[in-house]
């Protein structure tokens, strides 16, 4: 009898233990299901249904709503304006340079390869646009700018200041996309973070005073893939050297571009962020050759041309901004001192519109998730970025006499 009682108590304890394990397992499964549901229903993120719905719709509109910018020659009244276009030797940057140059701007092409930059400059000068109106154009200047090295950004800013004392448009177009493998910049940052955000943030900070005194504008070229980012964890993988899946890192960097544009607005600088659409460019040049060939095949009939992508960037360069409550009610009437050389195409952007991601040459304004628009998010990103580039904000650049001698202008 005593042995039977002992066996009963042992079996009871084992049953309770097994039941506890079962409840723990079910609780864990329930937690996984809740996390999956939150990820699927989130406003953004790599698993969010809203993210992929927006991406699919954007791809579907690629050919159906491709914008066009009429880059006809037009001389700006008064003093010639100065513009910088990073990555101006190819793709969207090249077409943006063409549009600004035809509008009478002195355009600086910031290129990692000076040889490719000079080749792009030669193509523009020998293009079919050149005729009797050539004297009305601006000038084209090539300067070295390697965004993978923060000290090279400092050198570029110093070299620019030796030639010009004002800056009216800064187009931050250059970027990389390396979805296949993890890479780091020369400064030890994940490549997408370093090139697509930190280097461009540093360039804005170094030229900020020129932009303010010239009432200039910053255009940041982002992407619909910014929706791959979910709410920021400021000490998470995106700021560590170990990094994360590179394709997601690209999405994070594009989200940083958008957040940075809004924070620049809050700090009193004219800034806009654009999404040029799905464009056939050289952004995939870091992929394996077979993937590049597949991309070129699909792009030839599905994606936009660089000129169509640049139409949105140029629209943002020339769009007017409402500067007072009265101006917000003037409809399409242009405010005095218009920037745009295309008098019939001017548009007044209200405050709410400036906080959108601009697409399709202003015909579509994408409302990004509320966490991206939150002032606290912008302040945190600004603080982290400032801390990352602080050693370069006060650094004395290297001597650039050779670079000055190699810098050439077109009349």
250 classed as catalytic = yes
Q: Under a CB-based contact definition with an 8 Å cutoff, are residues 352 and 134 in contact? A: no
Q: Under a CB-based contact definition with an 8 Å cutoff, are residues 371 and 231 in contact? A: yes
Per-residue pLDDT, 208: 95
| E strands in 134-209 | 140-144, 169-172
Average pLDDT rounded to a whole number, residues 163-169? 93
Greatest mean pLDDT among 119-133, 208-222, 273-287: 208-222
Q: In the predicted model, what is the mean pLDDT of the chain?
A: 77
**Of 317, 365, 361, nearest in space to 339 by CA:** 317
**Catalytic residue, candidates 250, 256, 258, 392:** 250
Determine which of 23-37, 188-202, 272-286, 317-331 has the lowest per-residue pLDDT on average: 317-331
- Checking if the pLDDT of 352 tops 60, the result is yes
CA 181 to chain centre: 21
Per-residue pLDDT, 323: 41
Residue 59 neighbours by CB under 8 Å, 6+ apart: 278, 302
| E strands in 215-287 | 217-221, 270-275
* pTM for the whole structure: 0.80
CA dist., res. 400 & res. 391, Å (int): 20
Per-residue pLDDT, 355: 83
**Of 290, 287, 258, 289, nearest in space to 359 by CA:** 258
Q: DSSP string of 365-377?
A: EE---HHHH-HHH
Q: In angstroms, how far is the first alpha carbon of the chain from the final one?
A: 110
Q: Under a CB-based contact definition with an 8 Å cutoff, are residues 218 and 202 in contact? A: no
pLDDT class of 40 with cuts at 50, 70, 90? confident
pLDDT digits (tens, 9 = 90+) for 117-151: 999 999 998 876 655 455 567 889 999 999 999 99
Which residues are registered as beta bridge partners of 349?
321
Determine which of 48-62, 255-269, 324-338, 375-389 has the lowest per-residue pLDDT on average: 324-338
pLDDT class of 228 with cuts at 50, 70, 90? confident
Return the domain boundaries, the chain. Answer: 1-41, 60-406
Task: Identify the residue with better confidence: 119 or 322.
Answer: 119
Which residues are registered as beta bridge partners of 82?
106
pLDDT digits (tens, 9 = 90+) for 283-316: 666 666 777 777 777 767 777 888 888 999 998 9
CATH 3.20.19.10 is held by the domain 60-406: no
């Amino acid at each position: 009898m005593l042995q039977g009682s002992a066996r009963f108590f042992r079996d009871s304890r084992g049953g309770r233990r097994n039941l506890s394990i079962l409840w723990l397992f079910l609780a864990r499964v329930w937690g996984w299901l809740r996390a999956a549901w939150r990820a699927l229903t989130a406003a953004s993120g790599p698993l969010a249904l809203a993210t992929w719905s927006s991406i699919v719709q954007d791809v579907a509109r690629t050919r159906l709503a491709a914008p066009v910018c009429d880059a006809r020659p037009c001389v700006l009244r008064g003093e010639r304006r100065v513009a910088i276009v990073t990555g101006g030797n190819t793709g969207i940057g090249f077409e943006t340079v063409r549009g600004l140059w035809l509008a009478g701007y002195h355009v600086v092409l910031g290129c990692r390869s000076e040889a490719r930059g000079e080749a792009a400059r030669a193509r523009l000068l020998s293009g079919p646009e050149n005729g009797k109106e050539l004297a009305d154009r601006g000038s084209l200047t090539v300067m070295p700018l390697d965004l993978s090295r923060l000290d090279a950004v400092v050198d570029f800013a110093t070299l620019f200041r030796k030639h010009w004392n004002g800056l009216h448009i800064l187009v931050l177009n250059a970027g990389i996309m390396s979805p296949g493998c993890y890479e780091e910049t020369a400064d030890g940052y994940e490549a997408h973070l370093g090139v697509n955000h930190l280097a461009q943030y540093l360039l804005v900070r170094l030229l900020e005073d020129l932009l303010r005194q010239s009432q200039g504008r910053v255009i940041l070229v982002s992407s619909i893939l910014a929706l791959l980012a979910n709410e920021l964890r400021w000490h998470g993988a995106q700021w560590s050297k170990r990094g994360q899946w590179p394709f997601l890192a690209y999405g994070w960097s594009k989200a940083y571009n958008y957040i940075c544009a809004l924070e620049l607005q809050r700090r009193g600088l004219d800034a806009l962020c654009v999404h040029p659409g799905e464009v056939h460019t050289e952004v995939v040049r870091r992929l394996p050759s077979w993937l590049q060939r597949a991309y070129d095949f699909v792009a030839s009939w599905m994606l936009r041309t660089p000129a169509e992508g640049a139409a949105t960037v140029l629209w943002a360069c020339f769009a007017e901004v409402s500067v007072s409550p009265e101006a917000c009610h003037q409809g399409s009437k242009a405010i005095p001192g218009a920037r745009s050389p295309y008098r019939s195409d001017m548009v007044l952007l209200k405050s709410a519109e400036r906080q959108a991601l601009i697409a399709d040459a202003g015909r579509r304004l994408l409302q990004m998730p509320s966490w991206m628009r939150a002032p606290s998010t912008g302040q945190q990103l600004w603080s982290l970025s400032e801390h990352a580039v602080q050693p370069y904000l006060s650094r004395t650049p290297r001597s650039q006499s050779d670079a000055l001698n190699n810098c050439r202008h077109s009349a």
